[in-house]
Amino acid sequence: MARDWLLLEAFPEPETARLRFYDWSEPAFTFGYGQKWQAVKGAGLGAGEFIRRPTGGGLVDHRADWTYALVLPPGHPLAAARACESYRMVHEALAEALRSIGLDGRLQDEACQSAIVGGASSRKLVAACFEQAERFDIVREADGRKIAGAAQKRTKRGLLFQGSVDWRVVGEWGDWEKLAESFAQKLGVMLGARPKHYSEKPWAAAMVAETTARFAAKEWNEKR
């Protein structure tokens, strides 16, 4: 979360679009900025670190996913577009990338009600992102099961888009490097940009440590 935030707020080339892929070193869940801490912790999803995202959306299980962050500068038309439009366009690029490597993803074309986990009697209700697809999520063509979802945040620095692909739905296939390359190419076409690898370390170690501590702090994660 810290590096995604720095990608938005402190990247040394703020006029460019930037894309980051990553996985998780230990069991982890992220939850939306506006969600209630007690509801999230009471969802009964098992052991793991719970981290509040700067973006919205619901609870995401990262124990079996492939995660990415996309930042668009404030001057880009898609950064100023309505949230549903930016969501649709980014997911169209990802769905094309999935199809290009043999996975049958398509966009969900109708709005659905998010599933709820946790007992109503306990008053610990929380939307679980991968329980059911919402409009413009990516679903499996064969049976409509959700493959990918995302959440967004806009600031004066631009648009942060945090997304996840559930490999339990796509199967044991796991050539994520090929998917990352294809997704970057499809996004490049959509954004009118040519992808290139950024090899430098963009932030000082002290800045990374300070921002990491912020997202790890009880004050951040339990603020609601």
Using CA atoms, how far apart are residues 127 and 150, in angstroms rounded to an integer?
14
Residues 29 and 51: beta-carbon distance below 8 Å: yes
Q: Which of 95, 118, 117 is nearest to 183 (CA)?
A: 95
**DSSP β-bridge partners for residue 148:** 138, 165
- % of the chain residues with pLDDT over 90: 62
**Going by C-beta distance under 8 Å and a sequence separation of 6 or more, which residues neighbour residue 5?**
54, 160, 211, 215
Q: Which of 212, 177, 186, 169 is nearest to 70 (CA)?
A: 186
Using CA atoms, how far apart are residues 81 and 86, in angstroms rounded to an integer?
6
Q: Which of 37, 29, 41 is nearest to 1 (CA)?
A: 29
Tens-digit pLDDT profile for residues 154-199: 999 999 999 999 888 776 556 788 899 999 999 999 998 899 999 8
Where are the alpha helices (H) located in the chain, listed in sequence order?
2-9, 37-41, 77-80, 83-100, 167-170, 176-191, 205-216, 218-221
Residues 59 and 128: beta-carbon distance below 8 Å: yes
Residue 101 has pLDDT above 90, yes or no: no
Name the 3-class secondary structure at 117: strand
Name the 3-class secondary structure at 52: strand
Tens-digit pLDDT profile for residues 54-93: 999 999 999 988 999 999 999 899 998 999 999 999 999 9
**What domains, with CATH codes, occur in the chain?**
2-218 (3.30.930.10)
Residue 199 pLDDT: 86
Residue 44 has pLDDT above 80, yes or no: no
How many residues comprise the chain?
224
Q: Is 212 exposed, middle or buried (0-12, 13-18, 19+ CB in 10 A)?
A: middle
